């Protein structure tokens, strides 16, 4: 195949470069991916057939180097299908999901290849391996065994078949959800429809309409716009309409109904677990986590749940008092909660987002995140206007360390748009490692995607405190990828156990709330005035308000996930299962949950967080305890603590077992009390 006619096949590993997105056509992906799979198979066949006895260098390290072209093409493909998709690209995604899953299964179920991997694994303690090499052997061996490499032939084949079916269903689930998110708009035809909306919400609605070629302002299902509308609109009927559209995503009868898709995914996962000798998919999945077992996860979830419900009762009482004072006689419903919480916040703390957001323009908050990375780790971010991203929204930065040495590229894609999936996430176009075929180190290329409601032309995008937290969270993931300093690609950056991966991101959120940071960067976008100390006092005083509501909604979603994946028999009706499970746990109807099953992308658009949505809470135990190291030092930018954080957490990747990495940073295991205090669940 002529690489000059397919930009994806240009073998360019030049540091600090990006693919030429302007030359990449949708039709390029299938031949490039097929070529990548063929080259990968050829490399692995040669590895398995070599006459030399298996050792670390010729087998495990060599395996880590295989598949370079395929990995590079898939990184581009997966990023575009998430961030800049199209009907044609979605068709390619559907067509390739099963072949890619089959390729993955063929790699990890190759008997000759596994025989060599297993031989090194069995002899590993007598080979004089360095700690990172030993970790690579053990993680690679586990990758094979968890893909069925040790199963009898018939079971191995069934496991692979299921992997292909799941890949197709995961793709279908994500595309169905994107369809529903794009299908809904609520026109705001007049001032009556916009009653109560501050100017920043009205501006976001006008911009959402302009992006869709519409004359009237509209509410879409972009998260930032939905939550703002629910928090400020005085039109209870419209709040209910938007809320029902939001919670009903993926749950409409017809071609885009995700309920049967979720049912099939759960059934197939349960069958995989049975093939692997586990009672449930949760048992199978949690073996390879810090938690280890469902019982340990339930213990954490139940503890938090029992503390959160009484705290929620106190928050509800405040809302009901506000309703009574305003003469509202209707019962509090789920579409009312955010509106009345905003009324309480304004009355009790004299604080509202309309007052706050002018101090949080997006460019200033990006600069704040960059400065925190510089103060903590010596990093500097310089715009690379000569490098073009995959969309005009994408900003590209070169990242240098304190000595001025480049360590990677950082791309930021901040705005919601119809061709982009909802949520916020970090991904990579290239991964840091030093195990390349030519011996040259590979630098990371990291992406952050957010879904902020874009400001109108001539005005900046204004963020809420929750948006700022999201920005810093994803940037924390980005730093985890950028600061990686390992030899082997399999152990790089964020390729860690799932309930450890959220530690660097959730920890970094703290700097986005620090007074010193906000005084420097939170400036009124029109006047340039720094945010007043009085307003910072209000933010601090209000910080715990609403924590019970958020905790209940999150924990209910995590419990629903674990319960669904712990069923010994398949769930045959996701609506009924969801309702029964949440009722048994005592979920109040007026709060709802963060994610209903037909829209739960964490669980059903892939298996990364399946039986694992609890990980944010698990990691919060770690990050709240880790933050105390800076508090104890008396300086949130303490250089000694920051150096230890970089060395033991952000740079380690999966080269060290996570609990050992945390102990190396903190000197002990994490305690749960700091997390409970942060959430206002203990004094």
Same domain, 471 and 568: no
Alpha-carbon distance values, 297 to 63, 246, 248, 294, 555 (Å)? 34, 28, 28, 5, 11
- For residue 97, what is the domain's CATH number? 1.10.1370.40
Same domain, 131 and 192: no
522 by DSSP, 3-state: which? coil
Q: Are 409 and 403 in contact (CB under 8 A)?
A: no
Q: Are 69 and 50 in contact (CB under 8 A)?
A: no
For 548-568, what is the mean pLDDT? 97
Same domain, 443 and 566: no
What are the φ/ψ torsions at residue 597 (nearest 5 degrees)?
-60, -40
228/221 Cα distance (integer angstroms): 11
If phi > 0 it is left, if psi is from -120 to 50 it is alpha, else beta; for residue 611 that is left
Q: What pLDDT is stored for residue 4 in this prediction?
A: 62
Looking up tokens 């405040």 gives 318
Alpha-carbon distance values, 314 to 106, 310, 486, 545, 649 (Å)? 55, 7, 48, 10, 38
Distance of CA 160 to the CA centre of its chain: 26
Alpha-carbon distance values, 235 to 19, 156, 190, 194, 338 (Å)? 47, 57, 12, 8, 13
For 396-422, what is the mean pLDDT? 96
Same domain, 78 and 208: no
Catalytic residues: 474
Residue 121, domain member (yes or no):
yes
395/387 Cα distance (integer angstroms): 9
Q: Are strands 380-383 and 186-187 parallel, antiparallel or unpaired?
A: unpaired
Same domain, 149 and 11: yes
Whether pLDDT at 248 is above 60: yes
For 30-52, what is the mean pLDDT? 97
Q: Are 557 and 617 in contact (CB under 8 A)?
A: no
Q: What pLDDT is stored for residue 3 in this prediction?
A: 52
Q: What pLDDT is stored for residue 1 in this prediction?
A: 44
- For residue 311, what is the domain's CATH number? 1.10.1370.10
258 by DSSP, 3-state: which? coil
Residue 581, domain member (yes or no):
yes
What are the φ/ψ torsions at residue 530 (nearest 5 degrees)?
-70, 150
The pair of structure tokens assigned to 293 is 């077992």
* Percent of the chain topping pLDDT 90: 94
12 by DSSP, 3-state: which? coil
Residue 87, domain member (yes or no):
yes
Whether pLDDT at 12 is above 70: no
Same domain, 552 and 601: yes
Same domain, 392 and 472: yes
504/463 Cα distance (integer angstroms): 22
Label residues 523-533 b or e (16+ Cβ within 10 Å = b): bebeeeebbee
159/462 Cα distance (integer angstroms): 48
Residue 252, domain member (yes or no):
no
Whether pLDDT at 592 is above 90: yes
Domain closes at, from 169, 199, 216: 169
Burial class from Cβ neighbours inside 10 Å (0-12, 13-18, 19+) for residue 347 reads middle
Burial class from Cβ neighbours inside 10 Å (0-12, 13-18, 19+) for residue 439 reads exposed
330 by DSSP, 3-state: which? coil
Q: What pLDDT is stored for residue 333 in this prediction?
A: 98
Range of the domain at 10: 3-169
Same domain, 70 and 133: yes
Domain closes at, from 169, 202, 218: 169
For residue 651, what pLDDT band results from cuts at 50, 70 and 90?
very high
DSSP state of 646: I
Same domain, 514 and 568: no
Residue 151, domain member (yes or no):
yes
187/228 Cα distance (integer angstroms): 15
Same domain, 32 and 93: yes
**Residue 150: Cβ within 10 Å count:** 14
Same domain, 68 and 189: no
Cα–Cα–Cα angle for 427, 381, 78, nearest 5°? 15
Whether pLDDT at 241 is above 90: yes
The structural domain count of the chain equals 4
Q: What pLDDT is stored for residue 45 in this prediction?
A: 98
For 573-581, what is the mean pLDDT? 97
Looking up tokens 């996430």 gives 425
Whether pLDDT at 372 is above 50: yes
Whether pLDDT at 186 is above 90: yes
For 420-449, what is the mean pLDDT? 95
Torsion angle, alpha carbons of 591, 594, 598, 603, to 10: -150
602/498 Cα distance (integer angstroms): 12
Domain closes at, from 117, 134, 169: 169
Whether pLDDT at 396 is above 90: yes
Residue 90, domain member (yes or no):
yes
Task: Supply the mean pLDDT for the chain.
Answer: 96
Bigger pLDDT: 355 vs 109 = 109
Whether pLDDT at 359 is above 80: yes
Q: What pLDDT is stored for residue 365 in this prediction?
A: 98
The pair of structure tokens assigned to 138 is 């053990």
Residue 264, domain member (yes or no):
no
The residue among 76, 144, 68, 136 whose CA lies nearest residue 492 is 136
414/423 Cα distance (integer angstroms): 11
Sign of the Cα torsion 387, 389, 390, 393 reads negative
For 466-473, what is the mean pLDDT? 96
Question: pLDDT digit string (tens) for 316-330?
Answer: 999 999 999 999 999
Looking up tokens 């919670």 gives 247
Q: Are strands 425-430 and 406-415 parallel, antiparallel or unpaired?
A: unpaired
The pair of structure tokens assigned to 218 is 């509209």
Same domain, 448 and 309: no
DSSP state of 21: G
Q: What 3 state SS string does 334-387 have?
A: CCCHHHHHHHHHHHHHCCCHHHHHHHCEHHHHHHHHHHHHHHHHCCEEEECCCC
The pair of structure tokens assigned to 198 is 């501050």
Greatest Cα pair distance in the chain = 84
74/522 Cα distance (integer angstroms): 39
Residue 102, domain member (yes or no):
yes
Beta strands in 419-458 (DSSP E): 425-430, 445-452
DSSP state of 453: P
């Amino acid at each position: 195949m002529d690489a000059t006619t397919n930009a994806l096949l240009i073998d360019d590993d030049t540091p600090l470069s990006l693919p030429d997105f302007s030359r990449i056509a949708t039709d390029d992906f299938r031949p490039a991916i097929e070529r990548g799979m063929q080259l990968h198979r050829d490399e692995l066949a040669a590895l398995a057939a070599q006459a030399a006895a298996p050792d670390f260098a010729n087998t495990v390290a060599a395996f880590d180097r295989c598949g370079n072209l395929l990995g590079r093409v898939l990184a581009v493909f997966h990023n575009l299908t998430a961030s800049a998709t199209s009907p044609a690209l979605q068709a390619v995604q559907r067509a390739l999901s099963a072949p890619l899953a089959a390729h993955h299964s063929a790699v990890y179920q190759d008997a000759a290849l596994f025989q060599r991997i297993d031989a090194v694994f069995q002899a590993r303690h007598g080979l004089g391996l360095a700690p990172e090499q030993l970790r690579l052997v053990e993680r690679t061996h586990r990758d094979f065994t968890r893909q069925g490499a040790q199963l009898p032939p018939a079971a191995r084949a069934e496991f692979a078949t299921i992997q292909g079916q799941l890949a197709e269903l995961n793709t279908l689930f994500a595309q169905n959800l994107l369809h529903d998110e794009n299908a809904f708009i609520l026109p705001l035809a007049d001032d009556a429809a916009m009653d109560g909306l501050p100017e920043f919400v009205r501006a976001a609605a006008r911009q959402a309409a302009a992006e869709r070629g519409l004359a009237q302002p509209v509410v879409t299902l972009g998260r930032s716009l939905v939550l703002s509308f629910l928090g400020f609109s005085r039109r209870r009927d419209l709040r209910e309409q938007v809320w029902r559209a939001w919670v009903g995503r993926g749950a409409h009868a017809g071609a885009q109904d995700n309920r049967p898709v979720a049912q099939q995914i759960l059934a197939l996962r349960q069958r995989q677990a049975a093939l692997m000798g586990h009672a449930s998919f949760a048992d199978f999945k949690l073996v390879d986590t810090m938690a280890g077992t469902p019982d340990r996860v339930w213990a954490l979830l139940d503890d938090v749940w029992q503390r959160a419900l009484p705290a929620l009762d106190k928050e509800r009482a405040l809302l009901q008092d506000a309703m009574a004072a305003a003469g509202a006689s209707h019962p509090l419903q789920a579409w009312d909660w955010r509106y009345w919480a905003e009324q309480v916040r304004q009355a009790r703390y004299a604080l509202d987002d309309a007052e706050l957001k002018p101090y949080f323009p997006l460019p200033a908050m990006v600069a704040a995140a960059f400065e925190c990375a510089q103060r903590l780790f010596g990093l500097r971010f310089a715009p690379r206007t000569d490098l073009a991203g995959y969309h005009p929204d994408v900003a590209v930065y070169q990242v240098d360390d304190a000595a001025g040495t480049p360590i990677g590229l950082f791309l930021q894609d901040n705005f919601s748009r119809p061709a982009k999936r909802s949520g916020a996430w970090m991904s990579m176009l290239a991964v840091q490692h030093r195990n390349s075929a030519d011996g040259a180190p590979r630098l990371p290329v990291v992406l952050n995607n957010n879904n902020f409601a874009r400001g109108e032309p001539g005005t900046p995008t204004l963020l809420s405190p929750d948006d700022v937290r999201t920005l810093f969270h994803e940037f924390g993931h980005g730093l985890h990828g950028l600061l990686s300093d390992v030899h082997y690609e399999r152990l790089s950056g964020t390729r860690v156990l799932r309930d450890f991966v959220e530690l660097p991101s959730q920890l970094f959120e703290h700097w986005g709330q620090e007074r010193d940071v906000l005084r420097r960067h939170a400036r009124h976008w029109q006047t340039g005035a720094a945010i007043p100390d009085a307003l910072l006092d209000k933010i601090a005083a209000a910080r715990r308000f609403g924590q019970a509501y958020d905790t209940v909604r999150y924990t209910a979603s995590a419990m629903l996930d674990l319960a669904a994946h712990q069923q010994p028999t398949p769930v045959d009706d996701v609506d009924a299962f969801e309702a029964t499970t949440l009722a048994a746990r005592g979920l109040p109807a007026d709060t709802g949950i963060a994610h209903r099953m037909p829209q739960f992308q964490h669980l059903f658009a892939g298996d990364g967080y399946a039986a694992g949505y609890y990980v944010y809470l698990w990691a919060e135990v770690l990050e709240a305890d880790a933050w105390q190291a800076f508090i104890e030092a008396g300086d949130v930018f303490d250089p000694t603590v920051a150096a230890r954080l970089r060395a033991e957490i952000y740079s380690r990747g999966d080269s060290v077992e996570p609990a050992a990495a945390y102990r190396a940073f903190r000197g002990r295991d994490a305690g749960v009390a700091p997390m409970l205090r942060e959430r206002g669940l203990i004094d």
